[in-house]
Structure 1
Amino acid sequence: MHIDLTGKTALVSASTAGIGLATAIGLADAGATVILNGRSSDAIERARAAVLARVPGAQLRGVAADLATAEGAAALLNAEPHVDILVNNAGTYGPQDFFEIDDATWEHFFQLNVMSGVRLARHYLKGMLERDWGRVVFISSESGLNIPADMIHYGMTKTAQLAISRGLAKVAAGSGVTVNAVLPGPTLSEGVRAMLEGAAKEADTSVEQAATDFVRTHRPSSILRRAASVDEVANMIVYVCSPQASATTGAALRVDGGVVDTIA
């Protein structure tokens, strides 16, 4: 299958590292012009260099904006008012005892993980519908289905993304615009690597092995029995953004290694 996104413009929020950066690389490799987003110009420049190292000649632009705020979203929309593909990847996570999570933390998780995507979709989806072609993808998580007891605030936001993406797919019914959610499972991103470095050092093992041990201990239903790579997750995202995925909409597409124990 050859995915050709030549002539399309794609925005990937929080695309300076992890799944977002891998997705930006995949979309650029398919020929799309990619808008990189991060909170600082330095981070965007590092991401630009990383994309060009994998895809020489890639067509790239960048906008520094903090999407945890309405002002940051407005700045991004003002700088880039039109896109054909929107990948809502911005988000934060981290384990915390439910009784220790204060209101400010709940609000921050909701603003960044949920409202960033709402604000961008509210703007860009209109143009996609007018042009009768577009792709909107929310990066949810298997934690939106299997709510972790130590990350209830995170799981809540990921479930919310599923509801929003399904509802927006219905808004776009009958058009050439699709809206979907992709649900990664444990993924060896930079953030997860940093989280596991201490455990790896303590066990005198590699971060990769520590990730495998984490999956087998804390996600025992995993069929893959290891963490996915960011490229493995990005492959699904790029496909959903492609013309070939024209009949896939309103879907929750799992790249979770079988963690969610269901056949549906």
Structure 2
Amino acid sequence: MTMPRHQASQPVTVSLQAGPTGAGDIDDFELFYARRAVDRFRRRLGRQGLLDLLAADIEEGNTFLRQSALASEGGFKGGTTVLQTQGLTAGEFLAWMEGAFAGDEHVLLAAHPEHYVMAPGEGGAFHVVENIGPHVCSFFMGGWGTDAMAWAKDADALLPDADFPHKMSSNLFLADGTVVGRALTQFGDTADGFTAHLTVYVPTACTQDVLEHHLRHFAVEFRNWIVAAAAVRA
């Protein structure tokens, strides 16, 4: 009996034909269960448990960022993720964000599977443990609106205030003060919602892949934060 040859050029596809009655496809189902599983582990471990579990990864990731910053000699390269929202204003979203960043760590963590810590730190800085590219890193954001943010006034991604009046900028720095990145987020209302320009800068010594993955990271986390803000308003 001759067995049929495998056609390497023909992609294998699977489609759902019957069974579940809820909305969505297999990818939607998998995403729901993945989020539920990640949330369970986060809650069981708690913040300190996650830090203990990831200690070696964080040390490796922070070493990567520190060495990249030193090799770049203060140089940064950036990219921007643009999101378009309908049905919610920039002001409504940013009011929700202000409340979330003031103390709702759970909703901040839930926005991305690779969020591990998002909590207020000392001196007004905000502590973040998340992936920068493939590296798990522990860093701080702070100094919004201070002289330390003077770089934002000349940023290549800066947009006119007339169209994007809501702006936030920050340095990303390690516990020892080493600046390892920058962030500039700009929001402007449209006729039926708002546009978000989300710019991140990484040390020039980083590969393009590191920047690319953080642009994807922005897309995931901000989309989910916007959806969460809309759900509360509704």
Q: Which has the higher helix share?
A: 1
Q: Which has the higher strand share?
A: 2
* Larger RCO, structure (CA 8 Å, separation 6 or more): 2
Larger Rg: 2
Using the size of structure 1 for normalisation, the TM-score is 0.25
